[in-house]
Chain A
Amino acid sequence: MLSCKRNVLSQIMKRTKKNKKKLRKKTLIRNQNPQFEEEESAAEEEGDRGEGFSLKSSAPSHSHGVQPLGNLFLSPSTSNSRITGLGNLRILTDELVLDILGFLGGSHLGVLATVSKSFYVFCNHEPLWRNLVLEHLKGDFFFNGSWKSTYISAFYPSFPVLNNGSSDLKVRDFYSDYLFQSWLCASLEMKREWLERDNIERRRGISVEEFILNFEEPNKPVLLEGCLENWAALEKWDKEYLTEVCRDVRFSVGPVEMKLEDYFRYADRVREERPLYLFDPKFAEKVPILGSDYKIPLYFREDLFSVLGGERPDYRWVIIGPAGSGSSFHIDPNSTSAWNAVIKGSKKWVLFPPDVVPPGVHPSPDGAEVACPVSIIEWFMNFYGATRDWKKRPIECVCKAGEVIFVPNGWWHLVINLEESIAITQNYVSRRNLVNVLDFLKRPNASELVSGTMDRTNLYDKFSSAIEATFPGTIDQLVSKAEETAAKQKKPSFWESVTDAKVGQFKFSFGS
Chain B
Amino acid sequence: MIHSLFLINNAGDIFLEKHWKSVISRSVCDYFFEAQEKAMEPDNVPPVIRTPHHYLINIYRDKIFFVSVIQTEVPPLFVIEFLHRVAEMFQDYFGDCSEVAIKDNVVIVYELLEEMLDNGFPLATESNILKELIKPPTILRSMVNSITGSSNVGETLPTGQLSTVPWRRAGVKYTNNEAYFDVVEEIDAILDKSGTTVFAEIQGVIDACVKLSGMPDLTLSFMNPRLLDDVSFHPCVRFKRWESERVLSFIPPDGNFRLMSYHVNAQNLVAIPVYVRQNISFFESGSSGRLDITLGPKQTMGKTVECVVVTVHMPKVVLNANLTATQGNYTYDPVTKILVWDIGKLNQQKLPNLKGSLSLQSGAPKPEENPSLNIDLKIQQLAISGLKVNRLDMYGEKYKPFKGVKYVTKVFR
- Say if A and B assemble together: no
Interface, chain B (partner A; CB < 8 A): none
